[in-house]
Amino acid sequence: MQTDFLVIGSGVAGLTFALEVSACGRVAIITKKESTEANTNYAQGGIAAAIGISDSIESHIKDTLLVGEGLCKLEAVRLMATEAPQVITELSELGVKFTMARETGFDLGREGGHSARRIVHTKDATGEAIETTLIKKAQERGVDLFENWLAVDLIVCQELTPDTQHSRCVGVWVFDTMEDKVFPFFAKSVLIATGGIGSIYLHTTNPKIATGDGIAMAYRAGVPVANMEFVQFHPTSFYGKKIDGRALLLSEALRGEGGVLRTKDGHTFMEKYDTRKELAPRDIVARAIHSELKRKGDNYVLLDITKLGAHKILDKFPNIYESCCSLGANPIKEPIPVVPAAHYTCGGILTELDGKTEILGLYAAGEVACTGVHGANRLASNSLLESIIFAKRAAKTAAKSFDSHQVSNLNKSEFLDWSKCSNLPYMRELQGKESNAGTDYNLSLLQIRKLMWKQVGIVRNDKELKKAKTEILKYKSDIEKIYKTHKINLQLIELRNAVTTAGLVIECAIMRKESRGLHFNLDHPEKDDLHFKKDTILKI
């Protein structure tokens, strides 16, 4: 198969890119599940944009930089904050129905780390509202959408010029999970927009599909990845019960409207950790909860929103209310049991401001990418915003490059010399592979998730990180042997990606001998600007 623009992932970044380039050529999106299954869907809070009367773009920039603990790239942050108001306008014009206030226009929420109310939202289901709108528009514009297709590896070849040699991505190897076969899908430009890595942890707000596929795939192809140690743990997920393996996210907006954290015996505690209390940045709140649980020996703390009143809860947070009730807790009448859970990765595939990677023709956007916006910790509700803005920039660059190709159709013989392909996969033919019978991939993934939760979690230390590296390298070796000898399936591909991504998180965490943002090491509790005020970069 072949197309002009190939998008891997159907979240907000992938859909935004697809819409932007659809006027230039054929566009195909591949997604390993249904088109609507993405981290985008679970983004409850909204999109940060300085559109309030008492707010400013400079204030948005300042808040982002402060939370990012010195590692944000100013140019990227300024670009994002400056373009945020226009993003809200464009989404509204596309049909996203944001919640409005009768007298002031957009109903602006407040979340941790923000100095003003600037969260534009659709009640408590903003991500779903945007996702649904973008999918509809993509279908209207003729974008081809292939569900249950999983990208396995990039097809990368060497391109010679008179002066130098470059690596160019000319497509991906795709596994059709329904037909049980692997085939090449060629394209002039490829965007990786596969989302995050939450499912490498035992407790996560992410759906099961978040196994780090795009990051692992890019890393194997020789693309640098950065800042993988900065895994954000959302402070408040529902304790004790899950929905399809995913912990129910309880939006930071609940605390923005007055929700209070308490220990099981009813005492508040955030005042001991930060003057901003419940509205401190996520890393501070998550570590405070972790500290209280360890101090008291409890399994959870309480998020109390009862004082908001029934009318406000039902009006602003109808989906959260219904979800909590379905899990056995009525937030109108009683506090909700909560614990932190893996939520977002601030690191990823290293990109330029236009989404380009080190490999020609390959772009990345959304949570999978490291643009420099988030630094050591992401400011709440900057994620959807970053995804849209940098996906649009990647699309403009890809479209411009597409025009310069001056060819109407992709010719395999022009773009691909199999003998020079840097990662020619051995899975092209499935015949001759051993049966998967007796191989428990779910158990192997569970072992990795437990390891990451216990040894590479909210609080870390050198001894546990070293131990985790030894264990993960053994897992990786064993999984690669199975991968080379057994029949390919979805679980095996995901397991391979998960162990690769877990190894990257561990290695970056070991390299950073300090505590900064989301990375807190008990053996190095202070920030060390002299040696570590820089990105942690890994490359094969």
342 touches 204 (CB < 8 A): yes
Nearest to 70 by CA among 537, 539, 531: 531
Q: Which of 117, 246, 255, 282 is catalytic?
A: 282
Name the residue among 278, 275, 282 with its Cα closest to residue 233. 282
Distance of CA 243 to the CA centre of its chain: 19
Spell out the residues 6+ positions from residue 150 whose beta carbon is closer than 8 angstroms to its own.
Answer: 30, 32, 174, 175, 177, 213, 490, 493
Number of Cβ atoms within 10 Å of the Cβ of 65 = 19
What's the chain's length in residues? 540
Q: Residues with Cβ < 8 Å from 156, sequence gap 6 or more?
A: 167, 168, 169, 170, 221, 222, 359, 421, 422, 423
Question: What are the C-alpha distances in Å from 521 to residues 474, 511, 527?
Answer: 24, 11, 10
Query: Cα(94)–Cα(87) distance, rounded to whole angstroms?
Result: 10
For β-strands 348-350 and 369-370, DSSP reports them as parallel
Count of CB atoms within 10 A of residue 28's CB? 20
Q: Is 41 in contact with 126 (CB distance < 8 Å)?
A: no
Residue 181 DSSP SS3: strand
State how beta strands 100-101 and 165-176 pair.
unpaired
Phi, psi of 120 (to 5 degrees): -80, 135
- Give DSSP secondary structure letters for 468-524: HHHHHHHHHHHHHHHHHHB---HHHHHHHHHHHHHHHHHHHHHH--S-BTTB-BTTB
Residue 261 tokens, joined: 């954290």
- What is the CB neighbour count within 10 angstroms for residue 303? 26
The structure tokens listed for 188 are 């002039």
What's the CA angle centered on 417, arms 414 and 423, to 5 degrees?
A: 130
**Catalytic residue check, 428:** no
Of 62, 163, 127, 10, the residue nearest 379 (C-alpha): 62
* Spatial contact of 215 and 366, defined as CB atoms under 8 Å apart: no
* 49's tokens: 């944009």
Active-site residue numbers? 282
